[in-house]
Chains A and B, each alone.
Chain A
Amino acid sequence: MKKYFNIILFLLFQQTFFAQLINHEDVVKVKFSLNKNEGESFIVAKINIISGWYINSYKLPKGSYAIPSEINVNKTNKLTVKEMIEPKPIQYIDKDLGDMQSHHKGSIIMKRKVLINSSSNLKVTGVFSFQVCNEAGKCLVPYEYPFSL
């Protein structure tokens, strides 16, 4: 009986300490793909953010302190990295902070345009970098998801 009581106590103790540890993967899920077209191609990031959380937009308002979300591609002479494409972000002025907030919620698609110079043995690698925060003003540390396509 004492053994079971100890196990329950141990599990409760662990839960208390683990309760405040959140993995990025539990909040933001990203699926990467490479859309090859003639002339221009896109690295596509299908991003799914759980309810109550958001990531910042790529383009941030002037003077913003936020960490932008971005698809960074490792340089190679087989491709030329072009601009980022993102959906229209949610924007509003935070009266207390006195600056414009710009972020994305829910399911979104962000793209990075690339020009493929040579398709032979092409391997596109890089990271999706972001910071995720919730509506209570709590954030996880800025993070990167690597991809290899």
Chain B
Amino acid sequence: MYTQEEKDKMAMKNSTIDKFAAKKGCPEGYVPDANGVCQKTAEQKKKDKDLQLKTGQTPIPNSNLYQMPKTKEERLKNMEDAKKLNQ
């Protein structure tokens, strides 16, 4: 069990996290998790697949960036992979 002082401290800490997340915010398609870290929504994950299918761009982990393919072959492979994921 926590003492009232500890509860207050925890509440303050959570409040700080919330304020930080609110101030910094998450880009569209992302929501902050319990730790204030931006995570992709299910809708955004679907958009990722559609983008990969259309352009061959693949999502870069732990970011909201997408990597453009470096070669024609890589683009076709990425598009093929997205097609398989959609099946």
Give me the interface of A with B, judged by CB distance under 8 Å: 10, 14, 17-18, 20-24, 65-67, 96-99, 133, 137-143
Contacts and interface: CB of A to CB of B under 8 A. Distances in A.
Prevailing SS type, chain A contact patch: loop
B81 to A, nearest CB: 15
A46 B25 CA distance: 26
A137 B68 contact: yes
Given A17-B37, A141-B29, 19 more contacts: A10-B17, A14-B36, A18-B38, A20-B60, A20-B64, A20-B65, A21-B27, A21-B64, A22-B27, A22-B63, A65-B55, A67-B54, A67-B55, A96-B71, A97-B69, A97-B71, A97-B75, A138-B68, A141-B48
Interface of B: 16-17, 20, 24-30, 36-38, 44, 47-48, 51, 54-57, 60, 62-72, 75
